[in-house]
Structure 1
Amino acid sequence: MKQREKKPTFAESQLSASELRQIDAYWRACNYLSAGMLYLIANPLLRKPLHVDHIKKRLLGHWGSDPGQSFVLVHLNRLIKKNDLNVLYISGPGHGAPAVLANSYLEGVYSEVYPDRSQDEEGLQKFFRLFSFPGGIGSHATPETPGSIHEGGELGYSLSHAFGAAFDNPDLLVVPVVGDGESETGPLATSWHSNKFLNPIRDGAVLPVLHLNGYKIANPTILARIDPEELESLMLGYGYTPHVVAGDDPQVMHQLMAATLDRCLDEIRSIQGEARRSGKAQRARWPMIILRSPKGWTGPKEVDGHKVEGFWRAHQVPITDVISNPAHLKLLESWLRSYRPEELFDEKGRLIPELRELAPTGTRRISANPHANGGLVREPLRMPDFRNYAVEVAKPATITAQNTFILGQFLRDVMRRNMNNFRVFGPDETASNRLQAIYEASKKTWLEEYKPEDQDGGELAPDGRVMEMLSEHTLEGWLEGYVLTGRHGLFNTYEAFAHIIDSMFNQHSKWLEKSVREVTWRAPISSLNILLSSTVWRQDHNGFTHQDPGFIDVVTNKSNVVTRIYLPPDANCLLSVADHCLRSTNYVNVIVADKQDHPQFLSMDDAIRHCAKGAGMWDWACNDQDGEPDLVMASCGDVATVEALAATAMLREKFADIKIRFVNVVDLFMMQPPSEHPHGLSDRDFDSLFTIDRPVIFNFHGYPWLVHKLAYLRHNHENLHVRGYKEKGNVNTPLQLAIWNQADRFTLAIDAIDRIPRLQVRGAHVKDWLKDQIRDNLNFAFENGMDRPAISDWKWPF
């Protein structure tokens, strides 16, 4: 790594008097628009004295970070024009959306996307009116915001999104503004380490701007209060070269910011140029900027004797009670007029030509960058034929395979065909989840120290395409940034620890839902694909902490427009599901598949048909072909299916005249009616499959109440009896864990006997035998530390 270089000085890149005047005027225009959005419903250019009729009845929005973000945006415009740069901007403090919106409006992009918010006084008035207004413009950098890939409502992900966008985009410069409040979140604090995964040959650059305005909603920020040298040391420790831009005098700050950006760009070009000329990708000390400016910069200094600018009171609406308080109305007018809008806009209400020339043109405009509308640059994956990876199944449930190992072979060849736009992400679990075949195509990205022993199974390389870091937050953020900018990927993780990204999933789903339903100008992006492996039923060795199938419960709470959940029972079904998910757009696809050896049930042709239906009968496991069943035995999930089949086999062996229909569900949302989810089975098909009056024993991979939640509107719901995981676990054998949660073959068979009327008396002896089996198998597990071979090696007997 290079040694720390000296900070840029004021004189290194000084603006001319004309440039300084123009940049400051453009910045004033941005700030005026940002303030106008908060307050004005009429009189947008103050061509009349300000009156209460010009003020919104409800004042909503945030001012505090707007001037600082506008300051960055204005100077990025200068840098782009000077160097013909391709820049993607990310607003970490999403509350600062007025700055992003103002810049988009002044660039002309906003009016191109929304012609009714035109470049004139009438359009400006509508622009102001709609901000933070019902049916109008959101108060964050929402999907409706041109140029945005990051809403910034929930804090912590701006850096990981930025690096995800930069991967495999060698000509892109991503500039995330990180709020000093955001910097206190765990995900953000860890994501500073993303610089250690940025390859200067094949990737773009990320120039973080840490915006220190000193305050959150009502508290000071940590990084703004620690000693400046300590902060610089922190950034040095993260591996950056920090450059400080600090002050409150706009004239001085403009000069310093211009010089600093020029210096940072020189450093970036030097790093990339050296690596690309030599062909050697090494860890670099990338630049970053510490921007220290007052919160609510250029806003009112005081209101009613209380400090506002440079204090937490500037966070939201700095002057309240404007309609009812004449003094506040006067103060607001004085503040707005301090930007001198009459100098900035012509008689029609358009930005004057001299200032319009400061903005880049075409797709070089920040809010018109095509990477921010990733579907525009997305190329479909070149897919191998997943059928070529099939497991040969001559007879159901007589051979075993590691389902995710087979998937890994398929993903290996997906990667080989798409070495510039497909990556796999995992928190040190890719090999653990049996996806290690991917390393035959590409290794794990690693630009740090490489030791001799790493050659023996380390699977590390500077140009690796498998992204591993023990931070689910960072990995999920990378993947989101990657797909939002038009690429493809898959995130694999232990099922129990997917909860770490619950909220990130929530936010991405909200973004997708809004994009799909309302923002028609956003082109479809690749789906966010999540593989949950090392699942609850095979975490018998790690114990209770690793047993939690509840991530899919979280997924079912989100919009049915964008969520999909698949639980393939075997390898061939997993291949079919994975192929479908990797080809899809605008979804969050969650695939649940364990990594251990499991019985294989369906040939590839049968698996394709079964997955296409999403749920269906397995004829080879049924014996009700000539009439109606006495019982429906259903399953969803790989281990759940084995136990349900074993229960079915025992019942058929003990009661030859009992008719059992076996149903397997791959697509969990099939359980809902189509009124609740587009994948839901019609009532007619559901009733045909599950009957309207027969008992249904449903063995489920996850928490049993989830199935009841999804199926509560179904006609036969009162006869639906669901088994699943019920928070009973420890270091167990697989069968012991199933027994503790009453999801084992013996308990399922007892459930069936209890619910088939003609077995109430006939079944008594078999029930006793089944209870003995439970006790005997538990005792065997306690004594031997393993299950009986008859259990672990079970095969379908018919």
Structure 2
Amino acid sequence: MSKKASESVLSEAQLDAINAYWRAANYLSVGQIYLQDNPLLRAPLQAEHVKKRLLGHWGTTPGLNFVYVHLNRLIRERDLNMIYVTGPGHGGPALVANTWLEGTYSERYPDVAEDEDGMRRLFRQFSYPGGISSHVAAEVPGSINEGGELGYSLSHAFGAAFDNPDLIVTCVVGDGEAETGALATAWHSNKFLNPVHDGAVLPILHLNGFKIAGPTVLARIPEDELLALFRGYGYEPYLVEGSEPGPMHQRMAGVLDEVVERIQAIQKDARTNGYSTRPHWPMIILRSPKGWTGPKVVAGAPSEGSFHSHQVPFGNVAGSSENRTLLQDWLKSYRAEELFDQQGKLIPELAALAPRGERRMSDNPHANGGMLMRDLRLPDFRDYMLDLPQPGALRAEATDVQGRLIRDVLKLNAKTGNFRIFSPDETLSNRWRAVFEVTDRCSTAEIAEADEHVAVDGRVMEVLSEHQCQGWLEGYLLTGRHGFFSCYEAFIHIIDSMFNQYAKWLKKSNEVPWRRPIASLNYLLTSHVWRQDHNGFSHQDPGFLDHVTSKTADLTRIYLPPDANTLLSVTDHCLRSRNLVNVIVAGKQPEWQWLDRDAAIKHCTAGLGIWGWASNDRDREPDVVIGCAGDVPTVEALAAVMLLRELAPQLRVRVVNVVDLMTLQPPSAHPHGISDKDFDLIFTHDKPVVFAFHGYPALIHRLIYRRNNHANWHVHGYKEQGTTTTPFDMVVMNELDRFHLSAAVLDTIPNPDSSVAYARQVLRDKLLEHRHYIRAHGEDMPEIRDWQWH
């Protein structure tokens, strides 16, 4: 059987007060959906009092209000440090209502005061032009989870709890949300929570039975099967179910008391005696009617307890006196005159139920993480840079060098516990092997003798779910910490939509003055398209860059460092940045190194520049510019330069490398964009540009379409051609190789003579020779494998 409260824990006075507070929150929630005036119904409801467009979601809201008031009792009585994460999509009315009741909303938005006029503004602004959205967005105090897209609440909650030993994160999971893949996997986050130094997550699965128009899966399976499911996940489930407010309040209060005591007992034992075995953390299954306390029947169809109450239970209120009467009766059922005084303020005996100051969930600093964020202690990245006597003098694995820097970031911040690595089982594969010198992979599940670098206190968060890595990191950052997400380039697409939501959250946060800046979300994308020749077509996709550039320019940065020293400089910059999404693309295979310490720092600071040592145009204007962005494109571009010296020595060639992709845009489009004057000086205002790019060629054209000479750019990149083949054949298939690049340069020569025809034939023959060689030998030609800049 499930755990249930065995006795009433609330006195009659407590029960009445808690129920009254719940009624107040429900009243405010209905008012936000329907009303624009007459907020306390001091006059009969008229058409002009009701919004013409009725938007919002009622069905989940009363359950969220129910949980909120009970958590307030716990916080107040036990002095808990708690935040509230809500997964049900558009539960905005509930959170806005509760933050207004406890005063935080009016503190953040003084125009929405704690009186009748403030209530009117509160109602009118909801889902209204110039107002606020219908879901729990960045504008809502106390929130760290965007309520628009479903599936991420629980991973956010666990991310918030990591390294927050005194924090309890209560996370309400909607039964519709529970059907998403991201949420279904997130239940396993309990295998990574260490009660010694982490906080606790209290999941509350809210079963109200319906999605928009159909039943939910978990609400329709037998109770024993449901409980067995969560026991199988490793939780201790407690069941609270019913529809009568009085008994439900008693059950919820009793269960919450027991659950918190269980959490505190787990933590006390682990912090006193040390970690021994993974605990079975408690969770609650709350089963209540959808649209609870709303109209029972609307137009002859059931409303409360059915999908009809999911959004707005009934419309056409302004145009129908019958519906206005229905709405008025519904609102009056909460007896607002008993809850608010003549000025429209919550009566003192109910206001006293809310916690005070930062103990209010809407004012908890963990939900405004910049208030708690401490800068990382960072080593000097210059100390890790490779000694390079001249360009192309040695080969190295760039991400291996970067990994040594990340190792020492972990070491320097071990005591503060505010930096973690997140990766879907790819930390070692992506050459961050050095981090395992100072920490391990985190797991509080069983650790086998054959495991390597796995420990209960590891700071490398590896789970084969990009969704969880992203969600954990978001929760970690939003509560004031720092992190890095390392991923195979092709599979970062799995979190495209999560990235969308997070970018939108940051954009709104930047518009909210009380939201403090947080550490940037940093991606390392490696095992990239040009070195996935062994895994084949499925692993070859650089399109995340296109996705990132579609977002607001003041939020996103893309870096394509060509070697280890530039990668170190970029990494240091990203770790110091705030309120951004930084994408770094860098290969993990041995590649030639190009820039020494000083040159790398200057190059990264500028974002792009002419590589004079590879160019031969100092004495006059170039005939052609060869541009490149990305490590493999840089190698191929420089190899093309060497070929052209032999095949067309008369050509004056300028080489331009781009590290910061956004510098290609004008300053009006991106804050990192260089001026048109500088752009023309570097790329010329009329000479052909052959550009070797890491990603899809169309992206470069998109970035530069407003520049002079755009029509004279010839971009080579990934053309969706791939298979399991040799590394060089991958670039050949996409015409990014040195031979195709050289041919493209020759094609720009006006009035070519016979020497150009002979040079083109040499290049054609080399491509044929390559094709025959790899099929005969299974590897690239020696002149490709052993190529070196000179």
Task: Settle same-fold status: TM greater than 0.5.
Answer: yes
Matched, 1:772 2:765: yes
Aligned to 2:210: 215
Tell me the distance in 2 between the aligned counterparts of 1:179 and 1:562: 30
Tell me the distance in 2 between the aligned counterparts of 1:662 and 1:592: 21
Aligned to 2:113: 118
Tell me the distance in 2 between the aligned counterparts of 1:756 and 1:283: 70
Amino acid at match of 2:721: K
Q: CA deviation at 1:113?
A: 0.2
SS of the residue corresponding to residue 60 of structure 1 reads coil
Q: CA deviation at 1:48?
A: 1.1
1:517-544: CA deviation from partner (whole Å, max 9, x where unpaired): x111100000000110000000000000
SS of the residue corresponding to residue 26 of structure 2 reads helix
Aligned to 1:716: 709
Aligned to 1:437: 434
1:170-229: CA deviation from partner (whole Å, max 9, x where unpaired): 000001100000000000000100000000001000000000011111111010011111
Aligned to 2:56: 61
Amino acid at match of 2:87: G
Matched, 1:373 2:380: no
Contact 1:701 1:724 in 2 (8 A): yes
Tell me the distance in 1 between the aligned counterparts of 2:409 and 2:272: 29
Amino acid at match of 1:725: Y
Aligned length: 788
Which blocks of at least 5 consecutive residues in structure 1 are unaligned? none
Matched, 1:203 2:198: yes
- Give TM-score, length-normalised by structure 1: 0.98
**Pick from 249, 261, 264: which aligns with 2:256?**
261
After TM superposition, which residue ranges in structure 1, 4 or more long, deviate above 3 angstroms? Answer: 758-761
Matched, 1:9 2:2: no
Q: What does 1:533-612 correspond to in 2, within 5 Å?
A: 533-612=526-605
1:42-78: CA deviation from partner (whole Å, max 9, x where unpaired): 1101111111111111111110100000000000000
Contact 2:179 2:217 in 1 (8 A): yes
Instruction: Give the share of equivalent positions with the same residue, in percent.
Output: 59
Matched, 1:390 2:394: no
For the aligned residue pairs, the C-alpha RMSD in angstroms reads: 0.9
Aligned to 1:90: 85
Q: CA deviation at 1:678?
A: 1.0
Amino acid at match of 1:9: A
Tell me the distance in 2 between the aligned counterparts of 1:441 and 1:611: 29
Contact 1:674 1:680 in 2 (8 A): yes
Contact 2:205 2:286 in 1 (8 A): yes
Contact 1:320 1:328 in 2 (8 A): yes
Change (3 A) 1:465 1:760: farther
Q: CA deviation at 1:653?
A: 2.2
Aligned to 1:513: 507
SS of the residue corresponding to residue 405 of structure 1 reads helix
Aligned to 1:459: 453
Amino acid at match of 1:417: L
Tell me the distance in 2 between the aligned counterparts of 1:86 and 1:409: 37
Amino acid at match of 2:206: H
Tell me the distance in 1 between the aligned counterparts of 2:668 and 2:592: 35
Aligned to 2:494: 500
Amino acid at match of 2:477: V
**Pick from 290, 295, 300: which aligns with 1:295?**
290
Amino acid at match of 1:196: K
1:287-320: CA deviation from partner (whole Å, max 9, x where unpaired): 0000000010000001111110010110111121
Aligned to 1:47: 42
Contact 1:200 1:282 in 2 (8 A): no
Q: CA deviation at 1:734?
A: 1.0
Tell me the distance in 2 between the aligned counterparts of 1:655 and 1:43: 82
Q: What does 1:375-774 correspond to in 2, within 5 Å?
A: 375-419=370-414, 420-454=417-451, 458-516=452-510, 518-774=511-767
Q: CA deviation at 1:793?
A: 2.3
Contact 2:2 2:237 in 1 (8 A): no
Tell me the distance in 1 between the aligned counterparts of 2:410 and 2:126: 44
Q: What does 1:276-355 correspond to in 2, within 5 Å?
A: 276-280=271-275, 282-355=277-350
SS of the residue corresponding to residue 208 of structure 1 reads strand
Q: CA deviation at 1:692?
A: 1.1
SS of the residue corresponding to residue 256 of structure 1 reads helix
Amino acid at match of 1:566: Y
1:100-130: CA deviation from partner (whole Å, max 9, x where unpaired): 0110000000000000000100111111110
Q: CA deviation at 1:761?
A: 3.6
Change (3 A) 1:603 1:715: same
Which blocks of at least 5 consecutive residues in structure 2 are unaligned? none
Change (3 A) 1:760 1:340: farther
1:688-723: CA deviation from partner (whole Å, max 9, x where unpaired): 111111110000001111111111111111110000
SS of the residue corresponding to residue 21 of structure 1 reads helix
SS of the residue corresponding to residue 453 of structure 1 reads coil
Compare 564-573 and 780-789 and name the one that shifted more.
780-789
Contact 1:724 1:742 in 2 (8 A): yes
Tell me the distance in 1 between the aligned counterparts of 2:110 and 2:785: 66
Tell me the distance in 1 between the aligned counterparts of 2:564 and 2:276: 38
Amino acid at match of 1:156: G
- Give TM-score, length-normalised by structure 2: 0.99
Amino acid at match of 2:283: M
Contact 2:648 2:759 in 1 (8 A): no
Contact 1:241 1:285 in 2 (8 A): yes
Contact 1:427 1:468 in 2 (8 A): yes
Q: CA deviation at 1:760?
A: 4.9
Change (3 A) 1:657 1:350: same
Q: CA deviation at 1:361?
A: 0.1
**Pick from 152, 176, 185: which aligns with 2:171?**
176
Q: CA deviation at 1:655?
A: 2.3
Compare 316-325 and 402-411 and name the one that shifted more.
316-325
Tell me the distance in 2 between the aligned counterparts of 1:110 and 1:334: 28
Q: CA deviation at 1:336?
A: 0.2
Contact 1:199 1:282 in 2 (8 A): no
Tell me the distance in 1 between the aligned counterparts of 2:450 and 2:252: 45
Contact 2:138 2:144 in 1 (8 A): yes
Contact 2:137 2:143 in 1 (8 A): yes
Contact 1:89 1:366 in 2 (8 A): yes
Tell me the distance in 1 between the aligned counterparts of 2:315 and 2:589: 61
SS of the residue corresponding to residue 200 of structure 1 reads coil
1:543-582: CA deviation from partner (whole Å, max 9, x where unpaired): 0000000011100111101010000000000000000001
Q: CA deviation at 1:759?
A: 3.7
